[in-house]
Structure 1
């Protein structure tokens, strides 16, 4: 994907994801969403079980697996649909995607420039003192998006 297209896609995703922040407002209830919604609408485990073709004990197991984070997405989607709900699944970055990429690029640039500065100092060569300018230049000329996530 070309950088300009990737940047536009990143900006669109950032806008979309901003609408669901703060993420704390979507924290899973202690007993899980299935149990919370089922209780809120007054549906018994037996009634949900009938809708899903499961026993009441199967529903208890389903709710426990959701609360512990081991439920399969397909099972959670089926339970949601049985209660007239929609499963919404998203990966929400801790910061914006743009900030994430910028931070990583800066981290890599600082590491690389630190090595260059050290080598040049050993050779008694003058190093440009405008660090921010050097960082921007390194990011623009030496880094590609795909290089950002290589492990070092």
Structure 2
């Protein structure tokens, strides 16, 4: 079953990413990681340029591009290696991946059930108010397909 396999994959990723939360702990220093590490090592821009086999103005441009958020990953990786560092790259979800899927399914169910409820009110066919959470869970289980969760904004 593909849905179960995806759920297990989400859970494994959630476990791997959990130690990276909160992501604010890894926010880049104001002038960027390259500049911060270079300064901490006591390495000049000229020395880093030599290690990268580039001209010194290229180091200034590299650091400026990191600071502005425009640096390319391959450039950042090269700089990390020149500083005897390892570039760590990850996308850290704001919630868990499983939580994001559940929230999206709930949003779709609320939207769809709201439309049905409105139409039934207009046609004077309103049903007695049962447990909203129960109705939502049933609707999600029976109607909301995981493959369709991200089709619409």
Q: Aligning the two structures, in what range does the TM-score lie when normalised by the shorter sequence?
A: over 0.9
User: 1: distance between equivalents of 2:69 and 2:24?
Assistant: 17
Deviations, residues 38-57 of structure 1 (Å, cap 9, x unaligned): 11111111111111111111
SS at match of 2:111: helix
Deviations, residues 16-64 of structure 1 (Å, cap 9, x unaligned): 1111111111001000000000111111111111111111111011000
Alpha-carbon spacing, 1:96–1:75, altered in 2? closer, same or farther (3 Å): same
User: 2: distance between equivalents of 1:44 and 1:128?
Assistant: 74
Alpha-carbon spacing, 1:128–1:84, altered in 2? closer, same or farther (3 Å): farther
Q: Residues 110 and 135 of structure 1 are in contact (CA less than 8 Å); yes or no, is this contact kept in structure 2?
A: yes
What are structure 2's unaligned runs of at least 5 residues?
none
The RMSD of aligned alpha carbons is 1.2
Aligned to 1:137: 138
Deviations, residues 112-139 of structure 1 (Å, cap 9, x unaligned): 0001111112222242522111100111
Q: Residues 128 and 134 of structure 1 are in contact (CA less than 8 Å); yes or no, is this contact kept in structure 2?
A: no
Q: Which runs of 4+ in 1 moved over 4 A?
A: none
TM-score, normalised on structure 2?
A: 0.95
User: 2: distance between equivalents of 1:119 and 1:42?
Assistant: 70
Q: How many residues align?
A: 152
Aligned to 1:24: 24
Residue 146 in structure 1 maps to residue 131 in structure 2: no
Larger deviation: 118-127 or 54-63?
Answer: 118-127
User: 2: distance between equivalents of 1:18 and 1:122?
Assistant: 47
What are structure 1's unaligned runs of at least 5 residues?
none
Aligned counterparts, 1:1-152, within 5 A:
2-129=2-129, 130-152=131-153
SS at match of 2:64: helix
